[in-house]
Amino acid sequence: MAVQPIRLFGDPVLRRPAMEVDSFDKEIRTLVRDLTDTMLAAPGAGLAAPQIGVGLRVFTWHVEGEVGHLVNPTLSLSDEVQDGPEGCLSLPDLTFDCRRALRVVADGFDMHGEPLRIEGSELLARAIQHETDHLDGVLFIDRLDAEARKAAMRAIRESEWFGLEQPVVKVSPHPTNGFGL
């Protein structure tokens, strides 16, 4: 098991768009295992590579007993929307209602480079959209209306973890092309 430290709000890697994976090698399979182990240990419904300091377009999810991963996702969203509570492992213990598409079709690849399509609704759709946002440098609090975002920022400033020293990753074992910190 390779549980990694989860980067917290304020770490610059969370705001950088991640790079596409172009090589499906042992390092990517290790990254997927690290993401899965870290997500399950947290525990969380999903985890994106930037949250462990790796700027690559890879995420994992754990929703309703199903564990999966997706590399280089592209999304097709339904016009129907859902409002519901959302949290993030990079913003511990904070939950706010966030609007998301009700259904999603996510195309990408598995860790071996094989094409993969995931179709989900409700919680799975929310998790896939949330993790794909991480790959674009977007946090769920960015999607809140002005009043809720203001409340979220206040809650972040008052949290026990805000301002704590971020973990330092000196050398990533994954090819990050300079996007890993």
Q: Catalytic positions, please?
A: 131
- Give the CA distances from residue 144 to residues 121, 149, 156, in Å, rounded to whole numbers and listed in that order: 20, 5, 14
* Distance of alpha carbon 116 from alpha carbon 107, whole angstroms: 6
Closest CA to 8 of 164, 160, 181, 138: 164
